[in-house]
Amino acid sequence: MGLILQPYQMSNEFFMKALLYGQPGIGKSTLAISAPNSLLIDCDNGVHRIAANHRVPFLPVKSYDEVLEVLASKDIDGFETIVIDTAGKLLDYIASYIIKRDPKMGRKDGALTLQGYGVRKYEFINLLKRVSLLGKHLIFVAHETEERSGDDKVIRPEVGGSSGADLIKELDLVGYMEAMNRRRTISFSPCSKYYAKNSARLEDMIELPELKNGEANTLMSTIIEKCKLALKEESEQLKEYNRLLAEQESAIEAIKTVDDANAFFTGLKNFKQIWDSKIKVWAMMQAKASNLHLTFDTKGKCYVQNIAQSA
């Protein structure tokens, strides 16, 4: 069996990698842990800020060694989602971990050296790979910060230098949360105001529900299910697209005469359109017509025999 797969052979198995960031107190952690069966890696000592009825099992992080230990243990097997809150604080723990292993990676003030930042970047990328191999959803929470370019201001996640760029490359979703006229929203579509990413093709902006009277906290679970459904539908549509083109290619190969060509052209009126299928079928038909020395008469809307070429 070959190693190369066709696009329609993609697995429907989907493990989301996302980053949620925004204004303080807007509910980032609560939204993150609404993903299915979450484990909270609490790097920010913030679990107490989550409503008691929405809290999930958590690791109160004191060192990066603890994070690695939990990720390597059987204790994590029963969870479907890993939530890291916050990404910036996790990077602080990784920095301490690096300096502890090799003091030359740190400065006297406790900050990393230039080489140390390179090691941190490598360690962070390895963490992403480690969680991916576990087959779980991964959601980062981050604070927001402002980045200026001349007179322009852009809001971006506070993750930490180049590590933020490395993280965003690996993610399916980056959502910015804000409050507008007492409505809390999350947007996944990038704009001039803030960073965002929407590889999962969700709606541009989603309003966050106000959870009252013991309502279940499920929004991220719903978003993940939408993404899974969209991937499944795209896969089925791609199969149908390829089947349709193969079917029409066979029909075009069977064309031998001008009457055959015109019969096929007449049938194109009822041809199913999926993406660019009509364009591709028309291109195949034109190539066939050229081989048979046929010319399409745009006035008569039919093929005619090119006598000079067929002679």
Domain boundary among 156, 186, 217: 217
Q: Mean of the per-residue pLDDT values for the chain? A: 87
Same domain, 201 and 56: yes
Calpha distance 40→161 (Å, rounded):
24
What tokens were used for 126?
């390895």
Provide the CA 203 distance to its chain's centre, in angstroms: 13
Of 34, 36, 17, nearest to 172 by C-alpha is 17
In a domain, 226, yes or no: no
Same domain, 55 and 134: yes
What tokens were used for 53?
């009825």
pLDDT digits (tens, 9 = 90+) for 165-188: 667 777 888 999 998 877 899 998
Calpha distance 83→78 (Å, rounded):
14
Torsions phi, psi of 48, nearest 5?
-70, -15
What is the CATH classification number for the domain harbouring 158?
A: 3.40.50.300
Structural domain including 252 reads 231-310
What tokens were used for 77?
């097997």
User: In total, how many domains does the chain have?
Assistant: 2
Same domain, 191 and 100: yes
Q: Between 233 and 135, whose confidence is greater?
A: 135
Torsions phi, psi of 183, nearest 5?
-105, 130
Identify the pLDDT of residue 311: 45
In a domain, 260, yes or no: yes
Same domain, 54 and 195: yes
Per-residue pLDDT averaged across 245-260, rounded? 92
- Contact predicate 293/305, CB 8 Å: yes
Domain boundary among 182, 217, 252: 217
Is 277 in a helix, a strand, or coil?
Answer: helix
What tokens were used for 188?
């996944």
In a domain, 258, yes or no: yes
Same domain, 237 and 204: no
Domain boundary among 185, 217, 249: 217
Helix (H) or strand (E) holding 82: strand 81-85
Identify the pLDDT of residue 10: 56
Same domain, 237 and 211: no
Same domain, 16 and 121: yes
Same domain, 41 and 184: yes
pTM of the model: 0.77
Share of the chain above pLDDT 90, in %: 48
Q: How confident is the model at residue 288 (pLDDT cuts 50, 70, 90)?
A: very high
Per-residue pLDDT averaged across 14-18, rounded? 86
Same domain, 193 and 278: no
What tokens were used for 308?
């000079």
